[in-house]
Amino acid sequence: MPRDSKAEKTIQEKMFQEMKTRNIFDQAHHYVYSYLDQVFERNVFPTEEAITDLRIFDEEMPIEDSDAEAVIYLLHRYGNPATVASLGGRYFGFVTGSVVPVGLATKSLSTYWDQVSAMYVISPLASKLESVVEKWLVDLFNLPTGTSAGFVSGTSSANLCGLAAARYRLLWKQNWDVNEKGLFGAPKIRIVTGQHAHSAVLKAVAILGLGKANIEFVDVDNQGRINVDEIPDLDENTIVILQAGNVNSGAFDDFEPIIKHARSTGAWVHIDGAFGLWAAAVDSHKHLTAGIENADSWAVDAHKTLNTPYDSGIILCRDSEALSSALHMSAGYIIESHERDGMFYTPEMSRRARIIELWSIMKYLGRDGIDQMISIMVERARQFAQEIRAVEGFSVENDVVFNQVVIRYQDDELTNQVLQKVQDLRECWAGGSTWFGKKVIRVSVCSWATTSEDITRSVNSFKQAILSINRK
């Protein structure tokens, strides 16, 4: 049947009218400004009432179309209070960054453009900005000339891409085309990494069919750094996975000797640097990443330490051919160009052009701004450690070298109680973890908006939690 029914014309005309009047866009912007006015002082985690009110969304799929302004109002009235105020300065959970203001504004602008960054012919703008930012990142991190970048959703995807490139290249060197032959009967690939490797690394290993049970784990020191002397003999069938920023302590592996040895054996070195790789861009902390330039691939998030909007991850690979070959696809309708076609460096074709926000933030901050912003985060983390140590019963379990603070209150049971009470108070938010078999509280300082007053205010919340527990 022809697609020109009265109902379809009605909904089409309705949407054209909404585009023309712009009422719902003005309404949304009004709500956005209201949110920004209160996000830095509001409760960090939603109240019980706000969470309960989310039941308003429990309904059957509507049959008839709705009023657009009513839809936007519903999100504002019930969605707004149930958000986590991670934009503010007192959210310390899951290494979740805030957003640099120009990034928020750019995201709003680019949302209306709704660009897809698969190919140049779909978005010349996205193609150009990916090319520019690729060069900026290679320069900023001091990586080898010719290193390629893929702009993905986060470090989980970036790790997957880096290890896929490694798998492709190591097998290709043994005359095995994994794209054509698969893994059945393929030469075995070894995986060597530290006991504290992030779960995203293990997930990537599993997805790629390399097998988590085949990982050769190496013991770590008391900061979670891989013990250099305990790394097994390496060979050209090996992928070595190192860490720039332990997810708990923020510690960095000793890259120079490990990578030097790995490269002499023909092994591939991948660095999981979700939040820590940005230390390479900070003059006072780049010593933490000395030697990373000799690795083969690097995974990093922009939405963590750099404070871009979610979702924004990056895979960097010195072997551009291995990366594009591992992720390559072709079809009769695909139009390749002489410009950058971003889909060849990522698993997805349909990707929103998150590069626009990443470019705007890097352009806005520049080298000096990035250096200053990250340095302040480290300073705030050290302030948190200093102030919490002064509270009787608390201990800091790690050397604070970057933005992570691992704290503990007396024993496991009391540590859990303090954490739960702090979360209930909603003045700040931190997460729990396990550190060498002990329950700990993990504080991740990765927001440009965190002030020294925010730190003191948050530590006072910990004090209040203890007083509340002691009254019981």
What is the pLDDT at residue 344? 87
Q: Which residues of the chain have pLDDT under 50?
A: 1-3
Q: Are strands 215-218 and 190-194 parallel, antiparallel or unpaired?
A: parallel
CB 24 within 8 A of CB 69: yes
Count of H-run helices and E-run strands, the chain: 14, 11
CB 136 within 8 A of CB 143: no
What is the pLDDT at residue 171? 97
User: Which positions ≥6 away from 343 have C-beta within 8 Å?
Assistant: 117, 118, 119, 329, 349, 351
Beta bridge partners, 148, equal 317
**Fold match, 106-362 / 367-471:** no
User: Which positions ≥6 away from 236 have C-beta within 8 Å?
Assistant: 170, 173, 265, 266, 267
CB 141 within 8 A of CB 292: yes
For 1, 51, 86, 91, 424, the CA distances from 40, given in Å and listed in that order, are 54, 20, 9, 10, 18
Q: What's the CATH code, domain 106-362?
A: 3.40.640.10
User: Which positions ≥6 away from 157 have C-beta within 8 Å?
Assistant: 313, 315, 346, 347
Candidates 3.30.300.20, 3.40.50.620, 3.90.1150.10, 2.40.170.20; CATH matching 367-471: 3.90.1150.10
What is the pLDDT at residue 333? 55
What is the pLDDT at residue 2? 45
Q: Alpha helix (H) ranges present in 390-435?
A: 412-425
Query: Is this prediction's pTM over 0.75?
Result: yes
What is the pLDDT at residue 472? 66
What is the pLDDT at residue 1? 37
What is the pLDDT at residue 9? 65
**Cα 455 from Cα 90, distance rounded (Å):** 7
In the Cβ-directed half-sphere of 67, how many Cα atoms lie within 13 Å? 5
Beta bridge partners, 314, equal 151, 300
**Cα 194 from Cα 202, distance rounded (Å):** 11
Q: For the chain, give every domain's residue range.
A: 6-85, 106-362, 367-471
Count the Cβ atoms, other than its own, within 10 Å of residue 193.
24
3-state SS, residue 354: coil
CB 328 within 8 A of CB 98: no
CB 423 within 8 A of CB 93: no
Q: What is the signed CA dihedral for 300, 306, 307, 310, rounded to 10 degrees? A: -30
Q: Alpha helix (H) ranges present in 86-193?
A: 101-113, 124-140, 155-172, 178-181
CB 454 within 8 A of CB 429: no
Beta bridge partners, 149, equal 316
CB 227 within 8 A of CB 243: no
**Cα 435 from Cα 422, distance rounded (Å):** 19
For 37, 110, 250, the CA distances from 224, given in Å and listed in that order, are 40, 40, 9
**Cα 342 from Cα 119, distance rounded (Å):** 6
